[in-house]
Amino acid sequence: MEIKGMSYTANLRRQTRSRLKRYKTIYLLMIPVVAYFLVFSYFPMALGVFNSLHEIKLLGSITWVGLDQYRAVLSSPVYGQATVNTLIVGMGTFLLQLAWGLLLALCITELRRRVSRSFFQTATYIPYLLSWAVVGSIWIAILSPSGMINGFLRMIFGDGFRRIVFMSERSYARAIMIFTGAWKTAGYTAALFLAAIISINPSLYEAAAIDGATRVEQIRRITLPSIIPTVKVVTLLAVMGMLRNFDQIYIMSNASILDKVRNLLYLIYMDGIVQFKVGLASAAACLVLAMTLLLTLIVRKLIGYDRLG
Amino acid sequence: MKRTLLSRVYELRFYQKNIVWFLMTIMGVLMVLPMWNVIVVSTSSTLASTQSGVVLWWQAFSLEGYQYVFQITKLARPFMNSLLVTTVGTVLQVLLSSIAGYVLIHRDLPYCRLMMTFILITMMIPGDLTLISIYRLNKSLGLLNSYTGLILNGLISGFSILLMRNYFSSISYSLAESSRVDGANELFIFARIYLPISLPGLATVFFMEYVAKWNSITLPAALLTKESMYTLPLMLKMMILSTNSVSGVAQVPNNAIMAAIVISAAPLLLIYVFAQRFLLSGLNLGATKE
């Protein structure tokens, strides 16, 4: 669309202007979305950074305190403990969920009947759909003194068995969080693995079988190497979500196990909203955000996520 | 299907198959028994539900638990709250993200890339980490303890916009071009051409977001203090708390708690049954590499 006598740049500018005019309605359509993000996403972020650098009193006075709040967070034993709890529960959940999901996926592929396959897939997937309020309540009920676990233990050890109050036993607390976390996500992880397994080229198995490889060898040499990209995806998702676990602890924690399971986000919520330590909580939130980004970056590099395969 | 036929020739040995079945049984029991237990106890009589131990079958079938949660716990209110907030929020979200997705498929649109970056950055800021500021913002806007607050926060997500954009860009762009030449305006092209052929994409976003909003705990936990505004997850939490507490508060019977659990989970199970296809495609999309 070269117009005679006009320089290239002028032409381009003209073209842009005419497009701007043509797409006027389109820009109008975008206004609510942009406005939403500015108010509910960018502004809170900026406000969080601002609050982390200021001391805000209940009466409304605001004073600049620099990095004091950050120092307070970093030297606070409670936040240190919360970081340890978050990492232990997060790592544990991730490892168990990965192993559980992988085992589920491998076993489901070996099932020959469609009915049993879809039954197991559905049954294991459902917990992933449910909220932590539901999953947490289910497990609190099952682990209660009158619940199913104690019932089983009684069946095994006889009537002399003294019931265990699992939910207030400090030594079980983290294990329970790890187990329930994995219980909720194992089916989802398995679904991801199953999708990867289905897309493996069948002729690979055929060729291996002709060469005399047994089914177990086929799984080891073909299936497992083919789903490594999915392992990477699952790892990355877990790392990104690890520091952001709130719902589980909010629902399942109680006073007697709190210092074993209280994690960063729960502590931030308690400090910032319930106890009104806005500056401290904002500083902690900024640190967690930075930690998430850093951790994601490190793990991406470590597992070679950006390379192919 | 080809795969199934082929691998039928090359199966596991007999004892290995037994191992698979053994593992499947253990995992199946671990996953299914807890949920089954909930269903049985929720439909047992209050007396039977106080009995401890392994309850996997009805001793006395009764709907007392459901009666209790509706009459004494007044679960209808939180249920309606959840239903209202989730439904309105999800419908608006689908509408807005499909509009934004439609805008972003115009490749010759000036500043298109800028808008894209603007949206991508929001995906890096997780809402739960700005929770304190979101609480303060809502407080100053007077949105605490209000339906508007619950609906407005988290109304649009970068993810759903990208999902819609990807869906729209799989539709031939010349379709929009040719109708534009014919003089159709943008709104018409969007509403009459793009939306109707994108129904599966819309459904995916709808069901995914419906599940996410229905299950949301962080936001209501931050914004709500009034009990009449509670959504189902908060109500459930309160019910379990009152059971665990040693105070003189009347304990909620087991079957009532289980009934509340079933009621909270039922809509999601319905969605899973009827819209499994969309839900799975959406959830798996979230995990694909880039």
CATH says A79-135+171-302 is which class?
Answer: mainly alpha
Write out pLDDT tens, residues A283-300.
Answer: 999 999 999 989 989 998
Q: What is the mean pLDDT of residues A63-76?
A: 90
Answer whether residue B4 shows pLDDT above 70.
Answer: no
Residues of A with Cβ-Cβ distance to B221 under 8 angstroms: 250, 269
How far is B244 from A26, CA to CA, in rounded Å? Answer: 55
CATH number of B76-286: 1.10.3720.10
Write out pLDDT tens, residues B107-141.
Answer: 778 888 888 899 988 888 777 788 899 998 999 99
Q: CA gyration radius for chain B?
A: 24
- Which pLDDT score is estimated for B290? 38
Among A272-286, B143-157, B176-190, the minimum mean pLDDT is found in B176-190
In this complex, do B284 and A23 lie within 8 Å of one another by their Cβ atoms? Answer: no
Backbone angles phi, psi at A64, to 5 degrees: -75, 125
Answer whether residue B207 shows pLDDT above 80.
Answer: yes
Write out pLDDT tens, residues A94-139.
Answer: 999 999 999 999 999 888 888 888 888 888 999 999 999 999 999 9
- What are the extents of the domains in chain A? 8-52, 79-135+171-302
Contact between A100 and A182 under an 8 Å Cβ cutoff? The reply is: yes
- Which pLDDT score is estimated for B246? 41
- 3-class SS of residue B235: helix
DSSP result, B149-210: HHHHTT---HHHHHHHHHHHHTS-THHHHHHHHTT--HHHIIIIIIHHHTHHHHHHHHHHHH
Among residues 272-291 of chain A, which lie with CB inside 8 Å of chain B? 272-273, 278, 281-282, 285, 288-289
Q: What is the pTM of this model?
A: 0.88
Backbone angles phi, psi at B62, to 5 degrees: -165, 155
Write out pLDDT tens, residues A182-192.
Answer: 999 999 999 99
Answer whether residue B164 shows pLDDT above 60.
Answer: yes
Average pLDDT value over all residues in chain A: 88
- Which pLDDT score is estimated for B285? 63
In this complex, do A137 and B129 lie within 8 Å of one another by their Cβ atoms? Answer: no
* % of chain A surpassing 90 pLDDT: 46
- The CB-side HSE value for B19 (13 A sphere, CA atoms) comes to 8
In this complex, do A133 and B237 lie within 8 Å of one another by their Cβ atoms? Answer: yes
Contact between A96 and A179 under an 8 Å Cβ cutoff? The reply is: yes
- What are the extents of the domains in chain B? 2-64, 76-286
- The CB-side HSE value for A15 (13 A sphere, CA atoms) comes to 13
Average pLDDT value over all residues in chain B: 84
Residue B194 tokens read as 């793009």
- Which pLDDT score is estimated for B182? 81
Q: CA gyration radius for chain A?
A: 27
How far is A129 from A118, CA to CA, in rounded Å? Answer: 16
Write out pLDDT tens, residues A30-46.
Answer: 899 999 999 999 999 99
Answer whether residue A62 shows pLDDT above 90.
Answer: no
Write out pLDDT tens, residues A6-17.
Answer: 577 777 777 777
Write out pLDDT tens, residues B219-265.
Answer: 999 999 998 999 999 999 988 876 654 444 457 888 899 999 999 99
- Which pLDDT score is estimated for B260? 93
Contact between A121 and A191 under an 8 Å Cβ cutoff? The reply is: yes
- Which pLDDT score is estimated for B13? 76
Q: Which residue of A has its CA nearest to B16?
A: A216
> What letters, b where the CB count within 10 A reaches 16 and e where it falls short, cover B97-125?
bbbbbbbbbbeebeebeebeebbeebeeb
Write out pLDDT tens, residues B211-226.
Answer: 999 999 999 999 999 9
Contact between A193 and A98 under an 8 Å Cβ cutoff? The reply is: no
Q: What is the mean pLDDT of residues A245-253?
A: 92
> Min CA distance, A80 vs chain B (Å)?
18
What is the torsion angle, in degrees rounded to the nearest 10, for the CA atoms of residue A112, residue A113, residue A115 and residue A116? -50
> SS in 3 state form for A216-240?
HHHHHHHHHHHCHHHHHHHHHHHHH
Q: Averaging pLDDT over each range in A66-80, B10-24, B177-191, which range is the top one?
A: A66-80
Residue A133 forms contact with B (CB below 8 Å): yes
Backbone angles phi, psi at A243, to 5 degrees: -80, 0
Q: Averaging pLDDT over each range in A92-101, A187-196, B29-38, which range is the top one?
A: A92-101
Q: Looking at the partner chain, which of B10, B108, B261 has a beta carbon nearest the beta carbon of A19?
A: B108
Residue B185 tokens read as 């305006």
Answer whether residue B51 shows pLDDT above 80.
Answer: no
Write out pLDDT tens, residues B53-82.
Answer: 788 888 888 888 898 888 888 899 999 999
Residues of B with Cβ-Cβ distance to A127 under 8 angstroms: 31, 35
> Min CA distance, B80 vs chain A (Å)?
17
- 3-class SS of residue B61: strand
Q: Looking at the partner chain, which of B33, B186, B289 has a beta carbon nearest the beta carbon of A229?
A: B289
For residue A63, the cross-strand partners are A55
- Which pLDDT score is estimated for B8? 46
> Min CA distance, B26 vs chain A (Å)?
11
The verdict on ipTM greater than 0.85 is: yes
In this complex, do A40 and B234 lie within 8 Å of one another by their Cβ atoms? Answer: no
